[in-house]
Amino acid sequence: GASLISISPFWFVILTTFIVTTGTVFLMWIGEKITEFGIGNGISMIILAGIVAGIIPAILKTYELLKVGEISILTLLLAVLIIVLVVAGIVYIQEAERRIPIHHARRSISIINQSASYLPFKLNPSGVIPIIFAVAILMFPATIAQFFAGHSEIARIIVDYLSPQSYVYLVLYVGLIIFFSYFYTAILINPIDIADNLRKSGAFIPGVRAGTQTVEYLNYVLTRLVFAGSIFLAVIAVLPIMLIKLLNVPFYFGGTSALIVVVVALDTIHQIEAYLAMKKYEGFLKRG
């Protein structure tokens, strides 16, 4: 058939790249304005809106498949049950945290007064970032290989192995999620800085010496937490793919989408609660 492109391929690539880049920059600007003048993270809210906008078409598509008999009522109920359990699990894990007790020693003339508090560490401190990085790394070589799949056997093998339905893809996917969970957590949380701040503020962890021993203890706790959190992320990300592969279930609302929706919703709720608490505190100060 006739080509749909009326200009040369070179200028088509240049024009498409320019349009996509301009649109991305514009969305980033809108996201920054939402963050500055609204509630929640602007970029996350835009991503959330895109995911939520796709839910209704997915429901209508599922209804059409149910009406023509391509999926059964039992299969649909199973998919809905799994979605509910996945969302409940995400909420539980995202809100879970390990609280390390710390004591603040305040010395007076002859009395030592110790006030107790805790140091919170999220079970999944990296959020959805490891999944996003893992998908990007796996998609890049597969996308490049698709351009040469018609002429190169190696390119066809790469496309086949990096297909989401391939077991090789699933193994690499899980491995990258675990790796980036540790990598991103190491960027976010620095046990050396935490131990130094505790020492400067006169705080300490009961039973743990200040300095090197505190750093080692925090590293030990974080290693265990990140491992559990990364396994959870891997299960959430791989579960929909396995359902599609094994049960032939049209799982439109994937684990990554569910994780993004829940994480953004929880962060927004926490920000609203903090804003209301601050307003209430300001009102209390004015009345005082």
| Domains parsed from the chain with CATH numbers | 69-287 (1.10.3370.10)
Instruction: Please list, in sequence order, all residues whose beta carbon lies within 8 angstroms of the beta carbon of residue 286, skipping any fewer than 6 positions away.
Output: none
Q: State the pLDDT at residue 115.
A: 47
Q: What is the pLDDT of residue 172?
A: 93
Q: Which two tokens stand for residue 223?
A: 């290693």
Which residues on adjacent β-strands are paired with residue 97? Answer: 122
Beta-bridge partners for 106? 113
CA 125 centroid distance within chain = 9
SS3 state of residue 203: strand
- Of the CA atoms within 13 Å of residue 205, those in its CB half-sphere come to 21
Please state the φ and ψ torsions of residue 203, each to the nearest 5 degrees: -105, 160
DSSP states along 219-258: HHHHHHHHHHHHHHHHHHHHHHHHHHHHH-----S-HHHH
C-alpha span between 239 and 232 (Å, rounded) = 11
Q: Please give the pLDDT value at position 6.
A: 66
Q: Which helix (H) or strand (E) holds 81?
A: helix 73-95
Let me know the angle formed at the C-alpha of 52 by 75 and 266, rounded to the nearest 5 degrees. 100
Tell me which residues of the chain have a pLDDT lower than 70: 1-7, 9, 105-116, 247-254, 281-288
At 108 the pLDDT is 42
- The whole-number pLDDT of residue 109 equals 40
Give all strands of the β-sheet with 97-107 in edge-to-edge order: 112-122, 97-107, 203-204
Residue pair 118/99 in contact by the 8 Å Cβ criterion? yes
- CA quadruple 55, 57, 63, 64: dihedral sign: negative
Residue 30: C-alpha distances to residues 13, 47, 52, 172, 207 (Å):
26, 12, 18, 35, 49
pLDDT at 175: 94
Q: Which two tokens stand for residue 250?
A: 């049209």
